[in-house]
């Protein structure tokens, strides 16, 4: 399988040639150079006549940021420090608050807090609009700048001012930064042969951790699986593909991307060595399920491998290519969109569950996880509805003629 890395929201790290082969055939180079003359003219005037002297590097960086901001919320410029920091986001260990953020309608918005992190414990929720960071307005603030301001040494505090639907005024959240170590896979035995597996994020180690978890569950008598992708903001594209191939037959398409440049048109198919292609499954999703989570849910839904249950997902379906630049900075540029096996574009739409189960509006209000995770699952309306669906699926499976599964888990 071709390796591609997805950073935070879905970032494919590639090395691109910036020569003529990248340009569209329809590009009018003459018009482009004419506009560049205008740019250099303005740059010269600013350097010579602006009231304060501004370093040329700062002017260029600001011009680049403005250019990218005019494209879409996910394209941005990474100065050398931001570029270095970006490379730790998928390692599973980094300093900060533990939230995935994006720009939605030009407003800094929480995609999802990662379970078990300071942001999650503080009560931040999907859809929260961050209007200030330490008193500084986030209006016109780019994503890398916001991420940089929220990160810091463990033990230090940051104040996040949040506006939320239903609130009459914004509220401040004082959150202490921690070294974020996200264990991406959590599991439980729900009884009756039903295994529960929650994926918090798609990291490098996630496929291996999931494989080990499933193998252990199979030895303990797993007959069905409840895969929880709620509030999973995404991560590595390769991890999403490898997770999906645990459950679909070898050679089946998982996801494909389409862009203007030929090398952005990629297809990712399953290359499973050990998998569970007949295991009855339900996948849980919600508004905090984004990017890589939507790839997994969409593929399993298209191949009719699982029932998707919950609420509409976030709708992050564009590919951001990270292009290293000559001075150690980087360009984060939207270069493609991804599509499910059936050709559905999720971008801006999300995945619609097969079974919609809304949680009560106050379900996450002042959430305080109990010391016993099983108690939380028993109180979880979506989990309990998923268990009912799985029981129905198993009854249907038992009425079918037995099959030779060649070592795979056999539904009973």
Residues with active-site annotation: 291, 302, 316
Nearest to 389 by CA among 285, 312, 309, 311: 309
Beta strands in 125-237 (DSSP E): 129-133, 136-137, 157-163, 171-176, 178-181, 185-191, 194-199, 224-228
Query: Residue 182: beta bridge partners?
Result: none
Helix axes 292-302, 237-244, angle to 10 degrees: 30
Burial bucket for residue 271 (CB in 10 Å: 0-12, 13-18, 19+): middle
The position carrying tokens 């069905």 is: 224
How many other C-beta atoms are found inside a 10 Å radius of the C-beta of residue 282? 27
Cα separation of 22 and 323, whole Å?
Answer: 13
Q: Is 357 helix (H, G, I), strand (E, B) or coil?
A: coil
Phi/psi of residue 379, each to 5°?
A: -90, -5
44's tokens: 């010269």
Cα separation of 70 and 114, whole Å?
Answer: 30
Nearest to 295 by CA among 270, 259, 261, 277: 270
Q: 379 and 369 in contact (C-beta within 8 Å)?
A: no
Distances (CA, A) of 60 to 47, 64, 203, 308: 11, 6, 34, 47
């Amino acid at each position: 399988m071709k390796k591609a890395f997805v950073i935070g929201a879905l970032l494919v790290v590639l090395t691109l040639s910036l020569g003529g082969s990248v340009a569209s055939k329809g590009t009018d180079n003459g018009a482009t150079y004419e506009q560049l003359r205008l740019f250099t003219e303005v740059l010269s005037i600013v350097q010579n006549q602006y009231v304060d002297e501004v370093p040329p590097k700062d002017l260029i960086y600001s011009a680049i940021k403005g250019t990218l901001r005019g494209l879409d919320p996910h394209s941005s410029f990474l100065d050398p420090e931001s570029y270095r920091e970006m490379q730790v986001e998928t390692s599973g260990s980094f300093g900060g608050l533990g939230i995935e953020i994006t720009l939605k309608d030009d407003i800094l918005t929480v995609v999802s807090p990662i379970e078990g992190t300071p942001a999650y414990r503080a009560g931040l929720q999907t859809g929260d609009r961050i209007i200030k960071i330490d008193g500084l307005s986030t209006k016109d603030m780019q994503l890398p700048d916001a991420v940089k301001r929220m990160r810091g040494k463990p033990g230090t505090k940051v104040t996040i001012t949040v506006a939320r639907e239903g609130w009459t005024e914004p509220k401040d959240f004082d959150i202490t930064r921690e070294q974020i170590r996200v264990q991406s896979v959590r599991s439980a035995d729900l009884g009756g042969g039903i295994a529960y597996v929650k994926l918090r994020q798609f990291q490098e180690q996630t496929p291996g951790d999931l494989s080990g978890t499933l193998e252990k569950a199979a030895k303990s008598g797993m007959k069905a699986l409840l895969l929880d992708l709620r509030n999973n903001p995404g991560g590595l594209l390769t991890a999403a593909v490898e997770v999906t191939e645990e459950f679909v037959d070898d050679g089946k398409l998982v996801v494909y991307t389409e862009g203007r440049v030929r090398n952005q048109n990629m297809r990712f198919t399953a290359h499973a060595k050990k998998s569970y292609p007949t295991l009855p499954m339900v996948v849980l999703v919600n508004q905090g399920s984004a990017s890589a989570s939507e790839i997994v849910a969409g593929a399993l839904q298209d191949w009719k491998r699982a029932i998707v249950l919950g609420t509409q997902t976030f709708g992050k379906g564009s590919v951001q290519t990270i292009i290293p630049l000559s001075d150690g900075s980087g360009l984060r540029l939207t270069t493609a969109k991804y599509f499910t096996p059936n050709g559905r574009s999720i971008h801006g739409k999300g995945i619609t569950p097969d079974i919609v189960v809304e949680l009560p509006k106050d379900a996450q209000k002042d959430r305080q996880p109990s010391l016993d995770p099983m108690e939380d699952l028993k109180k979880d309306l979506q989990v309990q509805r998923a268990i009912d669906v799985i029981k129905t699926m198993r009854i249907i499976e038992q009425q079918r003629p037995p099959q030779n599964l060649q070592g795979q888990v056999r539904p009973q």
